[in-house]
Amino acid sequence: MKLTVIGLGQCGCRIADQFARLNLKARSERKAVIAPHVLAVNTDQADLTGLKFIKNDYMHRILIGLRQTLGHGVGKINELGAKLAKEDGDKVMDAIRAEPRFYETHAFMIVAGAAGGTGSGGIPVIAKMIKERYLNKPILALVVLPFEHEQTTEARSVYNTATCLKSIYDVVDAVFLADNQRYVRKDMSLMNNMDKINRQIAEPFYDLLCAGEVTKGKFVGSRTVDAGDMLASLEGWTTVGIGRTVLPGMRFPWEINKKKFRDKALESFRGTRAMDATVHELSIDCDPKDAGKALYIIAGPGREMNMDMVKNVSTYIRELSPNATIRGGDFPGEKHFIDVAVIFSQLSFVPRIRDFYEQATVYAAEYEGQLMETKQRIEEMSDVAKDLPNLLGE
């Protein structure tokens, strides 16, 4: 599956940069193209400058709102981010049309952080523009939720997140949710932590996108997961995850039939162990029983995957999501690992989203009251000084 990826705001642009990295990796390792067109859109010039893999020209790194922000962002005011996206959205549309390989892509992936200003406000606006112009291409959103400390200490982040989620849900075909807090490593520096989180958010898509785009026969599985499977499995709130089992020293082909029975049993169990890791590494905390659709792909050396492994993983997912429509397949693309990537979509309940909606409703009411009180106190101070002379002579 090929994607046109558009990153909005600081968070969205950096994750889009990781999709550009994965595309280079796919071309090098698997001779596949998975993201031929990656754009970064921001109101902050410095953030655009810091990207590593997206092409360094004005048609791929797009600065919007320059007249109002002077290239220094919107300060977490997502209403302003939405306004600037409406005014300069034509720049994004022009950049999409200018890419010769755009029409090869199967869908749009628009990425943004929900707590900021540019991404939070801009993602529903840009998604709506694209939907009105490109009726035949599905639109997917990848929305990153704020850290726990942001949720507890920054009321504006909660409000931005809630309004962003509400606005984007009705516009796109599916919303991938990624919770920053689930990827935090306490012992890492801030810069390394953020880079690691961005990589982990993008990484689960790698095998899923590569499986249907490889051009060499050795990478084609017995049951290929392609763009049709993915798009049919995506709807509404969605989570994705990947788990890995490291293989022991690889065997030569003539040694395959000499495995001991314990080794054979362990081989079939590797898929289940990777699936265990996948469930713990889902991008958002949810109950898979609430999913209406599920998709999985098992990636590993072809001679290390067998029918027992596929059956075990499929049964595992059926137990987790008894009401879901399940699609899946294998992909002989990895050399030293068994990876299981899983998507749970059409989620009927996500606790974190409900928390944001409830907190934002309280914040909006309190903010309105505080605003009225502040205006009243300012007017009272002005009344105290009304008899003093005005040096301007007015």
Tell me the chain's radius of gyration from C-alpha atoms: 24
Domain spans of the chain?
3-203, 238-345
Phi/psi for 251 (5° steps) reads -90, 155
Query: Which CATH fold topology does 238-345 show?
Result: 60s Ribosomal Protein L30; Chain: A; (3.30.1330)
Tracing tokens 């993008």 back to the chain, one arrives at 202
Among 264, 275, 266, CA closest to 298: 275
**What are the two backbone dihedrals, phi and then psi, of residue 20, each rounded to the nearest 5 degrees?**
-65, -40
pLDDT of residue 336: 81
Tell me the Ramachandran region of residue 13: left when phi exceeds 0, alpha when psi lies from -120 to 50, beta otherwise.
Answer: alpha
Quote the CATH superfamily of domain 3-203.
Tubulin/FtsZ, GTPase domain (3.40.50.1440)
Neighbours of 269 (CB within 10 A): 14
Spatial separation of the C-alpha atoms in residues 163 and 240, rounded to whole Å: 23
pLDDT for res 332: 87
- Give the whole-angstrom CA distance, residue 207 versus residue 230: 12
Question: Residue 153, CB half-sphere, CA atoms under 13 Å: how many?
Answer: 4
What is the rounded distance in angstroms from the CA atom of residue 179 to the CA atom of residue 352? 9
110 DSSP β-pair partners: 6, 141
Chain segment 349-361, per-residue pLDDT in tens:
999 999 999 988 8
183 Cβ contact list (under 8 Å, min separation 6)? 196, 197, 200, 201
Q: What angle do CA 98, 101, 107 make, to 5 degrees?
A: 100
Tell me the pTM.
Answer: 0.89
Q: Which two tokens stand for residue 382?
A: 């002005």
Q: Quote helix, strand, coil % in the chain, to nearest 5.
A: 50, 20, 30
- 3-203 and 238-345: same fold? no
Q: DSSP for 361-389?
A: HHHHHHHHHHHHHHHHHHHHHHHHTTTSP
Residues of the chain with pLDDT under 50: 251-256, 258
Q: Give the separation between CA 322 and CA 289, rounded to whole angstroms.
A: 7
Tokens of 58: 């004005």
SS3 343: strand
